[in-house]
Amino acid sequence: MSDTLRNPVIVGGNRTPFAKSGTAYAAASTQQLLTAALDGLVARYGLAGEKIDEVAAGAVMKHSKDFNLTRESVLGTALDPHTPAVDLTQACATSLEAVIYLSNKIRLGQATTAIAGGVDSTSDAPIAVSEGLRKVLLQLSRERTTQGKFKALAKLRPQHLVPSPPSSGEPRTGKSMGASQAVTTEAWGISREAQDEVAYNSHQRLAKAWDSGFFDDLVTPFNGLTRDNVLRPETTLEKLASLKPVFGNTMTAGNSTALTDGAATVLLAEEDTARARGWQPLARFVDAQVAAVDFVEGNPRTDGLLMAPAYAIPELLERNGLTPQDFEIFEFHEAFAGTVLSHLKALEAQGITIPTERINPDGSSLAAGHPFAATGARIVASLAKRLHEKGPGTRGMVSICAAGGQGVVAILEAVS
């Protein structure tokens, strides 16, 4: 094993258009979505029949049959079936963590080519049986006599037949992500107008990026959809202002992310390997930091459910000897408009001011949608392309909050 660290780079990406839950992908499974995103990447970079060193991806909402989702998706693609795969999950930060995991493997010489990704579908959400029915069925399976089976079935009650859909509440608090963010939004005194402006800008900027052809080599149509259908370029501040709050007093459907279906992937490689294959590296993976907050007992201003990036960013900047002025682009995942604005206020309280004109220049999750595990890969691929356009040495930061009071941030830098 060599002591020399390699240079992991982002070569490119591919995703499906993102679809609002219950629309274009209502009948598609998470496996079909991830397979489609992978196959689009394979086609774009001529990987058919090739063995990739590893594919790492995941989903937040998985059926029990999808215990090996990424590997099964790989086997459905044109990749060599000898390509290994692993499922990773860290809520909304899943595919960013997959990028970090594989980049570190490349850095250590354990891989030269890899694919990171993520997928989610609220249209294909798993619905479980009730706990009461589950226990009866388990006992029934253990019984060996007819009498024993009847005794097990005799414990069944009408309420046991009610299914258990996925819960949006945090197990520790019972609060949904929106309800949790509403407390933090109010604690920071963030106005409805400021949130609506973030949402409006997101839609306008994403629409402009689509219209300019920016996504032509980042997205492959799927199931008849060619563009994110959450996107509302026709929206106005007046329309956003007319919506009624759904969380707290200021958070509406317009300044909160919609439930979304979709998948996204990123092609990573060791830089010399990429160049030898004729692939133009877009950006190198520099560093990353994870953090967590005490959202159960902590102050909702600083330890609100989605506030962990405000802890991770200062650590990452300090370790790399950088300031916000050293970055051209900041990609803040827009779980809610209030989330982004809360992070900015929390960072300012620590003496860190992010230039707002450098945040999400191509829009983000409010306009594109947010298939939980896919968002990180979407952002990394788009950011890498933008950084490459701006020239060597240009830096960008990715910041993603996640359920469980966690956050993941990373630095990318354009290469020549």
Closest listed residue to residue 55, CA positions, set 33, 70, 37, 35: 70
Model pLDDT, residue 173: 96
Q: What is the rounded CA–CA span in Å between residue 368 and residue 375?
A: 9
Per the CB < 8 A criterion, the answer to whether 53 and 113 are in contact is yes
**Predicted local confidence at residue 1, as pLDDT:** 57
Give me the catalytic one of 69, 177, 283, 401: 401
Letter for the amino acid at 44?
A: R
Q: What is the pLDDT of residue 2?
A: 66
Residues paired with 134 in a beta bridge:
none
pLDDT of residue 161: 87
Other C-beta atoms closer than 10 Å to the C-beta of 93 total 33
The predicted structure's pLDDT at residue 3: 76
Active site residue 185: no
Q: Catalytic residue among 28, 37, 47, 92, which?
A: 92
The total of other beta-carbon atoms located within 10 Å of residue 35's CB is 21
For residues 14 and 41, the answer to whether their CB atoms sit within 8 Å is: yes
Instruction: Determine whether 401 is an active site residue.
Output: yes
pLDDT of residue 164: 79
pLDDT on residue 169: 87
Q: Which residues of the chain have pLDDT under 50?
A: none
